[in-house]
Structure 1
Amino acid sequence: MTLASTGLITAHAAEQAAEDKKPQTSVQLSFDRPLDASMAPFVAASSGGLFSAEDLAVSFNFASASPEAIARVASGSSEFALVDINELIRFHGKADAPPIKAVFVLFNQAPYAIVARKSRGIRTLADVEGKTLGTAETDLSFHLWPALARQNGIRPANVKVYRMSAAVREPILSAGQVDAVAGFSYLSAVNLRDRGVPATDLAVLRYADYGCDAYGFAIIVNPAFAATRPDAVKAFVRAVIGGIHLTINEPERAVDEVVARMDGGQRDLELERLRTVIADNILTTEVKRNGIGGIDAARFERAIDQIGEDFKFRRRPSAADVFDDSFLPPARIRLIN
């Protein structure tokens, strides 16, 4: 065989491979806040080639909060977003809300928590009564505080609320200007330890430990995209599950990938944040039993009722209005042990 004929065969093989390869589907994924280690599964899926293996070209963008990320998906400027599913529930409680649904739950338990200083006399949730609780205006955890307080026999009127911006929440608590703050356990608690507050002086009172049924962050999808490209949605979910496995198996490597994309990220801080998220929000008892990504319908309905204690639904949504499990692979594929 001559060199020329070999070249022709090679060129033909390359052309055939190009024809056989499916064109990649380009999609945008919106996060509702700046990048941190809690988003490691998506970064791992991207850097590990899992999205591209599913014929997806995924680009990340960042919104200012969950409502803005939901709006991007509603408009079609983003096909997917990672948002607080409780904000999506409130979105569905408004008149004429587009039929946006979550298709995968990343945080089986919401990260909502009261983070307090033990030195200020707070060790349990009941101790918050009579104290000063700091909260950011946009803090999603505070929306469920009234329901949590009533559920645990705490009189909200006996808790002084100090409103502040999210940027000064941890500094104000570390300075002793408030006794506790409402926030996310993997943000406020980890940030406070980074500011020099001893772990032994922090009481992290997770809503989930006091009867809150809320799920946390979930992937939502544009309805038109889901209707016309269901296979792409399923492929996206499969890649994310692969990214979760990579993150849990190699958290240090996953954090390195995240920090490399951050502006001024601190590796030790983000590694602690990721380990907190995995232990508290992702690898729960429910997930170990049923697999990652789905919901328990009865629990979800209770979570909607808890939101309704402090939010007036124009029309109360059901679990089926908010979550669509048809894009999930079988439970055996979603099991994480």
Structure 2
Amino acid sequence: MAQTHMAGRAGDLPVRFILNTFYSGPQAWFFLAQDRGYFAQEGLDVTFTEGTSLAKAVTTMTSGTFEAGYGDLNELVRMRAAGVSAAPVGVMAIHNRPPYTIAVARGGRIRTPGDLAGAKLVSHPQDAAWLLFPEFCRATGIDPDSVDITISSAPHTEMVAQMLAGEWDGIFGFVNTIAAQAIEAGVDARAALHHLTWIDHAPAFYGGALMVSRAFRAAQPRAVAGLCRAINRGLADTVADIDAAIAAVARRNPALDRAANRARLLGTLALEMGDEAARRGLGDVEDARLREIARLICEAKGYAKAPAPDDIFDRRFLVPPELRAKMANPGSGWGA
């Protein structure tokens, strides 16, 4: 796994940070904050490590190897419902809305969730959308056993072409990830793809969030607050200057397709981060939604006890509401 580390000052607190995936556009705020010295100003020496998925990042944090990470808030709820004591705690929500989708061919037979009966779908291992498919089925009245799912490690650039050629009926993933990698594959994502999104059909769910280990929260509360402040500044700077944000990613990943990742970042800001964030600033969650997520997960997966919101998310470290990053141009991203 690749790592990014800028030499810190003597005395700065080391923080090991697991990302959701390889360096890409929708992580730009972390790198912009690092390049502009915001972590250093908080006395933090942050090392970023590439991950393999938003959901897997939460599991990875249970090892004790990382103090902080960017993981799926819904997977955190699931782990606490399952009784995983080493699960981290969320301290700053970044996706206000779920990024998850099943992408299908536009103009094909699948237009609604009810059309998925008998479908053949494909997913990456540990893809958060696939992990939440039982909850999607419960929310939409689908029988999950009526769907055939293949697990593949092939990149979305290959999956999109194979799906459009008829090998599968749909692809699990994130709306903007699939759309951007379709662009990289030479496919017009808007013209070729239709999305069955969790936003439309299971809107209670959140997405990515800043998480810290419970041990780190207990031992270094000032550092946790500093992480939130630095990342909030990186988010605000990203909204203000998209090209500077993409340049920060490219410094870590020189082979980056800048056009595709710029589109992916803009889509993420609009789709997953463009509603509540535009009105009152990014970072907090609604306890009622956390309770609904816990209910859906417990019902779908058979867990006996739903975790309480304050066992999932600790808002004490957030910056004041008036200082929170706001999205300048809310919108619908790639659309359905």
Say yes or no: TM over 0.5: yes
Aligned equivalent of 1:275, options 253, 261, 266: 266
User: C-alpha distance in 1, partners of 2:124/2:69?
Assistant: 23
Distance 2:220 2:203 in 1: 35
2:165 alignment partner in structure 1: 175
- Match for residue 112 of structure 2? 124
Give the match for residue 257 of structure 1: 248
- Deviation of 1:109 after TM superposition, in Å, equals 1.3
Residue 259 of structure 1, CA deviation: 1.7
Name the SS of the counterpart of 1:183 in structure 2.
Answer: strand
State the alpha-carbon separation in 1 of the partners of residues 133 and 230 from structure 2: 35
SS at match of 2:17: strand
- The percent of aligned pairs where both chains have the same amino acid is 28
Q: Cα gap change, 1:249/1:69 in structure 2, threshold over 3 Å: closer, same or farther?
A: same
1:306 aligns with 2:296: yes
User: Which amino acid counterpart does residue 156 of structure 1 have in structure 2?
Assistant: P
Taking a change above 3 Å as real, the CA distance of residues 250 and 318 of structure 1, as seen in their structure-2 partners, is same
Equivalent of 1:44 in 16, 22, 32: 32
- Tell me if the contact between 2:163 and 2:169 (Cα under 8 Å) persists in the aligned partners: yes
- Number of matched pairs: 316
Which ranges of structure 2 fall in alignment gaps of 5 or more residues?
A: 1-8, 329-336
Q: Which amino acid aligns with 1:150?
A: R
Of residues 131, 136, 139, the one that matches 1:143 is 131
Report if aligned partners of 1:85, 1:217 keep a CA contact under 8 Å in 2: yes
TM alignment of 1:1-337, pairs within 5 A: 23-66=11-54, 69-95=57-83, 97-98=85-86, 100-167=88-155, 168-198=158-188, 199-284=190-275, 286-313=276-303, 315-334=305-324, 336=326, 337=328
1:137 is displaced (CA, Å) by: 3.4
Is the contact made by 1:99 and 1:321 (CA closer than 8 Å) also made in structure 2?
A: no
Shift of 1:78: 1.7
Write out the 4+ residue segments of structure 1 that deviate beyond 6 Å after TM superposition: none
Q: 2-side partners of 1:152 and 1:163: how far apart? A: 23
What are the ranges of 5 or more consecutive residues in structure 1 without an aligned counterpart? 1-20
Cα deviation, residue 326, structure 1: 0.7
Residue in 2 aligned with 1:17?
none
Looking at structure 2, the residues matched to 240 and 335 of structure 1 have their Cα atoms a distance apart, in angstroms, of 9
| 1:59-82 deviation line (CA, Å, top 9, x unaligned) | 111233456533554444221111
Asked which structure has the greater CA Rg, the reply is 1
Aligned-partner residue type, residue 307 of structure 1: I
| TM-score, normalised relative to structure 2 | 0.86
When structure 1 is superposed on structure 2, of 263-272 and 67-76 the one drifting more is 67-76
**Cα pair 2:58 2:72 within 8 Å, conserved:** no
| Normalised TM-score (structure 1) | 0.86
CA contact (8 A) 2:44 2:223 kept: yes
Pair 187,68 (structure 1): closer, same or farther in 2 beyond 3 Å: closer
Letter in 2 for 1:151: A
